[in-house]
Structure 1
Amino acid sequence: MRNNRAMAVVPHRIAVLALDHVVGLDLGTPSQVFGTARTGERTPLYAVEVCTVGGRPVRSTAGFQVLPEHGLELTEAADTVIVPGIHDGPPMVDGTVDPEVAAVLRAAHDRGARIMSICTGAFVLAAAGLLDGRRATTHWAYADRFRRLHPGVDLDPDVLFIDSGGVLTAAGVAAGLDLCLHVIRTDHGSAVANGSARRCVVPPWRDGGQAQYIEHPVPRSTETGTAATREWARQRLHEPVALRDLAAHARMSVRTFTRHFRSETGLSPTQWLLQQRTDHARLLLETTELTVDQIARHAGFGTTAALRQHFHHRLGVSPTTYRRTFHRTP
């Protein structure tokens, strides 16, 4: 936010709450990604610090200890509190969490702070009671355990992250990058988020969910791959492309093509194509002055009503609302 008198940027305060057995990459992701978000004058937009219970050292899963500079009191003034993933401990074993940790998380949420988790950090939020009745995600490999420990949470292990308002959860490991970039994008727009992505050498957003990363049998021959057909379809998003057209390009039967496609992407051809069209529409809404009706045609939806329907289903907002949030006039 900005001070109207001096127009000085006041960095958004982020507290990263590290518990014992913290995942090393998850711990470093917030400071790395948010640390790259800056104004055009190169002023930092976020201030990221790490805390632990009692300010004590905690073990990481990467073979090093974390020596924090703060205790849990850091969360009391934070605008956002992030819980990185863990690979052991009560939240993962029996679904419980240190009462002191649960108390500070609930207090932060109650006063309006944004609460986020990366990977299995969702187990901590769930144990603190912050995910009851909410849609959330975590690493796909721990989905069954999560459901067993927290049946009251609407778990979706097929997505990269979920923003349910004041509480946000990311899927496994690198999905924390996607969630942090999403937050920057929401707070400051596409230009800032894209700049952060470039500095971190990662894409501004990734296609698909984590379903595409779930272990699948490896195809026996690379000749049966669908990558070339996917690229062919991306170049024709403005055209009506049917499943039979995709299969014909790949020189496969519809049934064989669908099987290989799902094995490689985790999505059906129809789901994937709708996703590509929606992402293309997002890009056009962000970067052009085309009308929504024109964008619907350019992205291959045909009608504005169809664009609105799929856009709202995937992103939860209308194209007009999305443009109002993310379009930046040079």
Structure 2
Amino acid sequence: MAGFQILPDHGLEILAEAQTVIVPGIHGGPPMTDGTIDPAVSEALRAAHDRCARIVSICTGAFAVAAAGLLDDRPATTRWLLGHRTERARTLLETTDLGVDQVARRAGFGTAAALRAQFQAALGVSPAAYRRTFRAPLS
């Protein structure tokens, strides 16, 4: 924590007239752990969405937006999610003989191309180069 709090001036009722709704990042809780959200928050977000308000999330706030059902069949990502997937891929590259395609799918990237792009952006190396450098001996 940064040592300060931001407290809202209004309750959920303000969403009924907001043109833009910003859902801040969250630190754990039901939206991230089991995909649920307080029904009143969900209803307020869905009502804002239904009247065409812009819904914006910051980082892990995407989990709350998803829990409200507003991301159904729409892709979304967060830095947290990319970090989690990258860490999972690193572990698989270090500890298994899985091919890059399989590592990509198991880590949640979907394709080897997406994994390669993320590794290059985050680590500055390809998955194959990472494996050669950090591979643990298999027992």
**TM-score normalised to structure 2 length:** 0.59
Q: How many residues align?
A: 99
Provide the residue aligned with 2:14 in structure 1. 74
Match of 2:137 in 1: none
How far apart are the structure 2 equivalents of 1:142 and 1:75? Answer: 32
Aligned CA distance change for structure 1 residues 97 and 143 (closer, same or farther; 3 Å) = farther
| Secondary structure of residue in 2 paired with 1:63 | coil
How many Å apart are 1:82 and its aligned residue? 1.1
Partner of residue 98, structure 1: 38
Residues 22-101 of structure 1: matches in 2 within 5 Å?
Answer: 61-101=1-41
What amino acid maps onto 2:5 in structure 1?
Answer: Q
Aligned to 1:114: 54
Q: Shift in Å at residue 113 of structure 1? A: 0.6
Which of residues 70, 80, 83 is equivalent to 1:141? 83
Identify if the C-alpha distance between structure 1 residues 143 and 100 changes in structure 2 by more than 3 Å, giving closer, same or farther. farther
Task: Report percent identity of matched pairs.
Answer: 60
Which amino acid is 2:9 matched to?
A: E
Which letter does structure 2 place at the counterpart of 1:133?
A: D
Q: What displacement does 1:210 show?
A: 6.7
Counterpart residue identity of residue 106, structure 1:
R
Distance 1:63 1:109, change over 3 A: same
- Work out the CA distance in 2 between the residues paired with 1:211 and 1:116: 27
Write the distance in 1 (CA, Å) between the matches of 2:85 and 2:17.
Answer: 32
Q: Which runs of 5+ in 1 are unaligned?
A: 1-60, 145-154, 157-208, 220-258, 264-330
Bigger Rg, which one: 1
CA displacement at 1:93 relative to structure 2 = 1.8
Mapped partners of 1:108, 1:115: distance in 2: 8
TM-superposed CA distance for 1:92, in Å, is: 1.6
Alignment of 1:243-254 (within 5 A): none
Sort the Cα spacing of 1:119 and 1:210 in 2 relative to 1 into closer, same or farther, 3 A: farther
User: Which segments of 5 or more consecutive residues in structure 2 lack a partner in the other structure?
Assistant: 87-107, 110-116, 131-139
The 3 A distance-change label for structure 1 pair 114 and 66 is same
CA distance in 1, matches of 2:29, 2:18: 25
- Residue 211 of structure 1 and its aligned partner are, at CA, apart by 5.9
Instruction: Tell me the distance in 1 between the aligned counterparts of 2:71 and 2:55.
Output: 11
Instruction: Identify, as 1 or 2, the structure richer in strand.
Output: 1
Partner Cα distance (1:125, 1:211) in 2: 27
Instruction: Give 3-state SS (helix, strand or coil) of 1:136's partner.
Output: coil
Shift of the 142–129 alpha-carbon distance from structure 1 to 2, 3 Å rule, reads farther
Partner SS, residue 102 of structure 1: helix
RMSD over aligned CA atoms reads 3.0
Aligned pairs (5 A) from 1:201-280: 213-214=121-122, 216=123
Q: CA deviation at 1:62?
A: 2.7
Q: What amino acid sits opposite 1:124 in the alignment?
A: A
Note closer, same or farther for the CA distance 1:213–1:91 as it changes in structure 2 (3 Å cut). farther
Quick one: structure 1 residues 102 and 90, their matched pair in 2 at CA, closer, same or farther if it must change by over 3 Å? same
The two structures have a TM-score, normalised by structure 1, of: 0.27
Residue 125 of structure 1: which of 65, 70, 88 is its match?
65
Give the direction of change, closer, same or farther, for the CA distance of 1:124–1:78 in structure 2 (3 Å limit). same
- How far, CA to CA, are the matches of 1:94 and 1:74 in structure 2? 27
